[in-house]
Structure formats: structure tokens, C-alpha cells
Amino acid sequence: MSRPILRDGLLALGLIALVFVSRLASEGGVVPPNFAAVGAAALLAGFVMRTRWLALATPLGAMLVSDLYIGTYDWRMMAAVYAAFLLPVAFGMLVRRKNASGWRLAGWVGTGAVGSSLAFFVASNLAHWVFTGMYAKTLGGLIACYGAALPFYKYTLAGDATYTLVLFGAWALALKARGIRADAPAPVV
């Protein structure tokens, strides 16, 4: 097995474990609802991993493992939610290609964290409106659906921001420990 695949595989397992624990904490009331590491893990996977298929599989695997434990729901809603978590992976890959460093990198990563939260909010609530009978299939019903979900968005945003800061901070510290400048463009480690 090549070194990048091994490194990416170990990172994927670590991110899946983090997402699993963070979703359990969220579902168990230890932290607020939706305060989980899924978006941040997806963003980091896209930014750091050199194995594209593994980067894309990481948030999907994390969601699947945790959903199998927590409980599954309508497969169409699951598909929409899972698809939404592919967007931060793609954004992370895009940011890596920009070779940004310092504050520019921080700005891109922050944008990715906010975008991840927004993608989840839009996709999950649109799917909820389409696939459940809770809201009328009208513009008013769609607005009511998003309005009812708005209080949860702040927790998603807070979770993505917190976990993104922690994960990218840990990545920078790991680079520094290896003697690689943390403000340099994204290296292959």
C-alpha cells in the first residue's frame, strides 16, 4: 500500500470516529442538536487527502456508520443529506489547489465551514419539505419548513465553525511538529 493511501486511510478512520462521537453527543443531548463534526471533517478530508475517492467516501462513511447506530430515516432524505456533505469535500479540494496560505487560507477555510453549514441546512430541509407530509407543498409550506429549522441552523453553524477550527488547527500543529511551516501552501505530508 502506498504511503499517501495509508496516511489518508488512517485520517479517514480518525475523522469517521470523530464524526461518530460528535453525532452521538449531539443525539444524546450532551451538546446541542446538529453540533457535530461532519461538515468540518468533510472539508478537512477534501483539503488534506490526496486520494480523492477516499476523501469523498469519508463523510459518507461517517454518516452511514453513525446513522446505522443512531437510527436511519427516509432513504431519500438520507441521500440528500449525504450529497450535501460532498460539497465541503469538493470545496476543500478546490481550496488546496489555490495554494493559499496565512490569512487567505483561513478565509477560504472559514468560507468552507459556513458553506458546509448552509449546504446541509438547504439540502436537509428541502428534502424534509419534499419527502414528508409535515408541510404543505406550497411556497408557504417551504417557508414554514425553513423557518421551523432556523433555530437548529445556529447549532450546525457553531459546530462546523468549532470543529473546523479544531481540525485545521490540529493539522497545522501536526505540520509544525514535522518541521513544515503551517502557513505554507498545503503540502503533501
Biggest distance spanned by C-alpha atoms of the chain: 58
Give the pLDDT of residue 1.
Answer: 63
Provide CB contacts within 8 A for 76, sequence distance 6+.
Answer: 127, 130, 131
Residue 94: all three cell numbers together: 478546490
Tens place of pLDDT per residue across the chain (189 aa)? 677 789 899 999 999 999 999 999 999 999 999 999 999 999 999 999 999 999 999 999 999 999 999 998 999 999 999 999 999 999 999 999 888 878 899 999 999 999 999 999 999 999 999 999 999 999 999 999 999 999 999 999 999 999 999 999 999 898 888 887 655 544 444
Rounded Cα–Cα distance for residues 16 and 11 (Å): 9
